[in-house]
Amino acid sequence: EDQVTQSPEALRLQEGESSSLNCSYTVSGLRGLFWYRQDPGKGPEFLFTLYSAGEEKEKERLKATLTKKESFLHITAPKPEDSATYLCAVRLGISNFGNEKLTFGTGTRLTIIP
């Protein structure tokens, strides 16, 4: 069965303290790994898409990387406004339309303490 597991479930960091969030997956036919940020009471906000092992994407203090079995979301010198739940999702399969459902992990709740 295809699975997406995120760790840790929750992470508290001091402002400026860098760390990484993990997303491991056991799927066949991966066709994209996605990172989203979700603030309380809001819908997920798209951050990154990664397609192949070795690929990296960056945005401000965030960098996402991908291997054949997992992805990391590295956060460098975080600020309190980076506090949110970070969701990882994978897309499988092939279709003529190029759109398929995403399978999500349960997320990592990140808290940055001033």
Partner 1 sequence: GAGVSQSPSNKVTEKGKDVELRCDPISGHTALYWYRQSLGQGLEFLIYFQGNSAPDKSGLPSDRFSAERTGGSVSTLTIQRTQQEDSAVYLCASSPYLTDTQYFGPGTRLTVL
Q: Whole-number minimum distance, CB 60 to partner 1, in Å?
A: 18
Tokens at 55, concatenated: 């690929």
Question: With binding defined as CB under 8 A, does residue 78 bind partner 1?
Answer: no
| Nearer to partner 1 (CB atom), residue 41 or residue 54 | 41
Binding of residue 40 to partner 1 (CB under 8 A): no
Q: Quick one: which segment of 10-18, 62-70, 74-82, 93-101 binds partner 1 (CB under 8 A)? A: 93-101
Residue 45 is a binding residue for partner 1 (CB under 8 A): yes
In angstroms, the CA 53 to CA 72 distance is 12
How is residue 82 annotated by DSSP?
Answer: G
Task: Tally the residues of the chain.
Answer: 114
Answer yes or no: are the C-beta atoms of 92 and 31 closer than 8 Å.
yes
In this structure, the number of other CB atoms found within 10 A of the CB of residue 96 comes to 5
Residues that bind partner 1 (CB under 8 A): 4, 31-32, 34, 36, 41-46, 49, 87, 89, 91, 95, 97-107
